[in-house]
Structure 1
Amino acid sequence: MSVTENLAIILAELSSNQRHIEEDDLQALVDEIVRARHIFLAGAGRSGVAVRGFANRLMHLGKSVSLVGDIASPHSHPGDLLIIGSGSGETESLVALARKAQRNSVTIGLITMDANSTLGQLADAVVVLPGVSPKLQGAAQVTSVQPMGSAFEQISFLCYDAIILELMQRLAETTDTMFPRHADLE
């Protein structure tokens, strides 16, 4: 099999997986983003990489955002939102983070494969994305030719971009209005 054939298989998987995502859950997360005073974002591993890209686009929209663990991240307050990307919903450091956020009256949004996970039980808004992972125990799964959580991580990145498009409409933002917020000291 060739690399381009592999790419076609991956794209077909992602297209098929998209049909398993609940629009109402995505809209609930969008509502929380619009309401949030400040948005904290967190994720580990490749899910964390996707979350970082999402944080960047939220900043381009003019939202006040921070990546958890960054030295310039502010103190949390009620009215803030913590968005966590975690396929399994069981990453111990993220569970501890969510519990602290909950104690501080911070709303929690979660992008995961398992709504019944520990993080799923702590979150106020949960978006379940399909994927395959050896970490999942009993959650509904789809099949994939890709290793470990790749399908989840890819659909996460695409969903984050789809959320940005929805927010652009709601906030009357365009590429032209967002671009001046793009980093110039690179």
Structure 2
Amino acid sequence: MSSFKESIDYLQEKIKDILGKVSEEDITKLCKLLLKAKRIFVYGAGRSGLVAKAFAIRLVHLGFQAYVIGETITPPVRVGDLVLIISGSGETMPSVMTADIARDMKVKV
């Protein structure tokens, strides 16, 4: 990238591409899950973890009870909670394991 404009164009194209892969139905399902959950727990590894933390902060700003899995102040997950796993590949082992553990606990993932 040789210019700021080229960088912006590149980012806009990537965002457009990603948003084109997400259906309105999926967004509606996520919104319903968020509104129904007693508490929301987010997890991500590496850069996805940074995104998860930022998302948790935004959820708190919106009035949700949100926590980041792995932080020292995070309470245990219980039935009725929602666990959101953020992963670029969907194959990162700690993320997959966290999802499996949550499912074993009968928590919505």
TM-score (norm 1): 0.55
1:95 aligned residue: 96
| Displaced runs of 4 or more, over 6 A | none
Taking the aligned partners of 2:48 and 2:77, their CA distance within structure 1 comes to 22
Taking the aligned partners of 1:60 and 1:69, their CA distance within structure 2 comes to 20
Taking the aligned partners of 2:28 and 2:49, their CA distance within structure 1 comes to 22
1:77 aligned residue: 78
Taking the aligned partners of 2:8 and 2:52, their CA distance within structure 1 comes to 23
- 1:18: how far off? 2.1
Unaligned 5+ segments in structure 2 are none
Pairing 1:40–2:70 present: no
- 1:17: how far off? 3.6
- 1:19: how far off? 2.3
- 1:48: how far off? 1.6
Pairing 1:65–2:66 present: yes
1:107 aligned counterpart, secondary structure: coil
C-alpha distance 72-15 of structure 1, shift in aligned 2 (>3 A): same
* Count of residue correspondences: 108
Identity of aligned residues (%): 34
- RMSD of the alignment, in Å? 1.4
- Describe the superposition over 1:99-122 as per-residue Cα deviations: whole angstroms up to 9, x where unpaired: 1111111100xxxxxxxxxxxxxx
- Describe the superposition over 1:146-186 as per-residue Cα deviations: whole angstroms up to 9, x where unpaired: xxxxxxxxxxxxxxxxxxxxxxxxxxxxxxxxxxxxxxxxx
> Which letter maps to 2:19?
Q
Show the 5 A alignment for 1:1-186: 1-108=2-109
2:71 aligned counterpart, secondary structure: coil
